[in-house]
Structure 1
Amino acid sequence: MIYTWPSPAKINLFLYVTGRRLDGYHYIQTLFQFLNYSDTLKIIPNKTGKIKLFTKKKSLINIQNTIINAAELLKEKALLYKKIKSYNLGAKIFLNKIIPIGSGLGGGSSNAATTLVVLNKLWNTQFTLKELALFGLEIGADVPFFIMGKTSIGEGIGEILYPIRQEEKWYLIVYPNIRILTKNIFSSPYLIVKSPKKSIKTLLKSDFRNDFENILKRQFITIKKLIVTLSTYAPSRITGTGSCVFSEFNNKKDAEKVFSLLPKNMRGFITKSVNISPLHSIVYKRKDMFF
């Protein structure tokens, strides 16, 4: 039995804000792209009824942690819909965190999704992926994408997904050591909701951009300088609401060359995009988009 599972990062190849809801959430159009770069979760189920999280970063262990929230949520839904006794649903979860927090790479949402998908399997609660995605939406708007496991156009608040196949590229991801809270950027007075909603065909033919980039460049001079520097070598943008900047390459060698030109203290990594979540490649043995 496999007990260690990937919890992959993502980037937003584009991100447009198309409207604002009465409850404060924003309507978006985005292209979620999986990366072959992951936190890992070692999950050992038991019948103690208790969820325990272990990690070297002690600051991550609190009641707001998405892993704990996801496990407790699945337990609650299993009790409600499957009539499974809660004392049978316990687990020890060991998190190895390498995705930077507040980076726009979706680490927290991915951790929640991996927890839901894997515990659904290990606990034999037998919820469908669509049901898990609906549960995951209670934790975060990006969680359904990570649960469904396919590179996708996201609409609504990000939960309406249209799977697509993207050419897999190499990416240099640079983290400027700035932690950004998504809610703070969405509430920025400089966020102008003006991007028109477009068809998927039009979106994919248009130049990609991120509506939050100008806000972040205005607020963080380090991010502005990083984008300017990287853009001299390759197409470079913010992912999500920041703070990571990614540069796109056709091969690994070019990405490595640009990375070598950056200051030695600059934190980053090189990875390839994938159309199927690394988690799904293991759990469901999926290698193709069309299933």
Structure 2
Amino acid sequence: MSQTTTWPAPAKLNLLLRIVGRRADGYHLLQTVFQFIDLCDELTFSVREDGRVHRLSELAGVAAGNDLVVRAAHLLQQETGCRLGADIDVTKRIPMGGGLGGGSSDAATTLVALNHLWRLGLDHERLAELGLQLGADVPIFVRGRAAWAEGVGEAFTDIEPEMPVYLVLAPPVHVDTGKVFQDPELTRNSDRITIRDFLAGEHGNDCLAVVRKRYPAIAQVFDWLDEKASARMTGTGACLFAACADRSAAETLLAARPAGVEGFVVQGLNRSPLLDALHRARAD
């Protein structure tokens, strides 16, 4: 069976992040909003008859056995007893460790694509449940629609926020998410808000103050961006973003960004391009 296809894995932004409590097991209770952007990794799958899963591309610092893409493929095999395998080539465009969800998105694309290519017939709900075993953000990428999320990030409500052009900046810093959530100064008791509050303009991020203190380089880039637009941080960072009036305004800011900072002009999306890729594949 020689079938080779390429699928997108989009990045996401957290348009809001509030910490409203903590469970007995230590997990934080959140309110957040996920929106996709058109910055995508690309995954190419070639189906194998021998059941082996091979990652063809190298990923700095990530052994193949620990890669979420490989783990996602093996999880599908274990769940279904499928005897097919795959060669998987990942073209990385999403910065690693920046809060844009690239690893989780790659895993979700693997689940969705191989479910189709291996003809397993699992529905999106089951794929999302499997994705949760790989990471808290994987289900949102499987679902593929912008969403308000609560709980530990697993209870979703579809929403339709505005879809502006964003400037995304990636300071050359790796944020340790675990240490941010363990920081004693982190706000953990924010009042709950509603979707209406968010749509009316509530866009705060409870992790920002801690991240600014722990990572001065992020604070500097945030302040630079905030002077020119309304700066926000996605997740626990390090990536920062701002909605812009149009692509031209975003390109102007991108050209003036601080030295050593990677940047992207992207379009906000309320529907993931992964869903469109799946639709096309089913039509073929």
Deviation at 1:55, TM superposition (A): 1.3
Residues 1:149 and 2:151 are matched in the alignment:
no
Deviation at 1:2, TM superposition (A): 6.1
Aligned-partner Cα distance in 2 for 1:271–1:135:
29
Cα deviations across residues 61-90 of structure 1 (Å, max 9, x unaligned)? 3322111111111111112xxxxxx4x220
2:5 maps to which residue?
A: 3
Aligned-partner Cα distance in 2 for 1:260–1:58:
28
Residues 1:26 and 2:25 are matched in the alignment:
no
**How do 1:115-264 residues align onto structure 2 when only pairs under 5 Å count?**
115-264=110-259
1:16 maps to which residue?
A: 18
The partner residue of 2:72 within 70, 73, 78 is 70
In structure 2, what residue type is equivalent to 1:259? Answer: L
Deviation at 1:121, TM superposition (A): 0.3
Aligned to 2:69, the other structure's residue is in SS state helix
In structure 2, what residue type is equivalent to 1:52? Answer: H
Is the Cα contact below 8 Å between 1:10 and 1:105 reproduced in 2?
yes
Aligned-partner Cα distance in 1 for 2:175–2:260:
20
Cα deviations across residues 32-64 of structure 1 (Å, max 9, x unaligned)? 010011011001111211111121435333322
Aligned to 2:265, the other structure's residue is in SS state strand
Aligned-partner Cα distance in 1 for 2:11–2:119:
26
Aligned to 2:103, the other structure's residue is in SS state helix
Aligned-partner Cα distance in 2 for 1:124–1:211:
42
Aligned-partner Cα distance in 2 for 1:64–1:22:
29
Is the Cα contact below 8 Å between 2:8 and 2:43 reproduced in 1?
yes
Deviation at 1:285, TM superposition (A): 5.2
Alpha-carbon distance change, 181 to 50 in structure 1, aligned in 2, over 3 angstroms? farther
Aligned-partner Cα distance in 2 for 1:277–1:193:
31
Aligned-partner Cα distance in 1 for 2:171–2:251:
18
Aligned-pair Cα RMSD in Å: 1.6
Residues 1:105 and 2:105 are matched in the alignment:
no
2:40 maps to which residue?
A: 38
Alpha-carbon distance change, 108 to 179 in structure 1, aligned in 2, over 3 angstroms? same
In structure 2, what residue type is equivalent to 1:66? Answer: L
Aligned-partner Cα distance in 2 for 1:2–1:152:
31
In structure 2, what residue type is equivalent to 1:224? Answer: A
In structure 2, what residue type is equivalent to 1:63? Answer: G
Alpha-carbon distance change, 101 to 58 in structure 1, aligned in 2, over 3 angstroms? closer
Alpha-carbon distance change, 118 to 163 in structure 1, aligned in 2, over 3 angstroms? same
Aligned-partner Cα distance in 2 for 1:250–1:12:
19
Is the Cα contact below 8 Å between 1:51 and 1:90 reproduced in 2?
yes
- Listed as ranges, the gaps of 5+ residues in structure 2 are none
- Listed as ranges, the gaps of 5+ residues in structure 1 are 80-85, 287-291
TM-score, L = length of structure 1: 0.92
Alpha-carbon distance change, 233 to 253 in structure 1, aligned in 2, over 3 angstroms? same
Aligned-partner Cα distance in 1 for 2:37–2:165:
9
Aligned-partner Cα distance in 2 for 1:136–1:243:
24
* Identical-pair percentage: 36
In structure 2, what residue type is equivalent to 1:47? Answer: E
Deviation at 1:202, TM superposition (A): 2.4
Is the Cα contact below 8 Å between 2:4 and 2:47 reproduced in 1?
no
Is the Cα contact below 8 Å between 1:50 and 1:89 reproduced in 2?
yes
TM-score, L = length of structure 2: 0.94
Aligned-partner Cα distance in 2 for 1:201–1:239:
20
Aligned-partner Cα distance in 1 for 2:113–2:182:
34
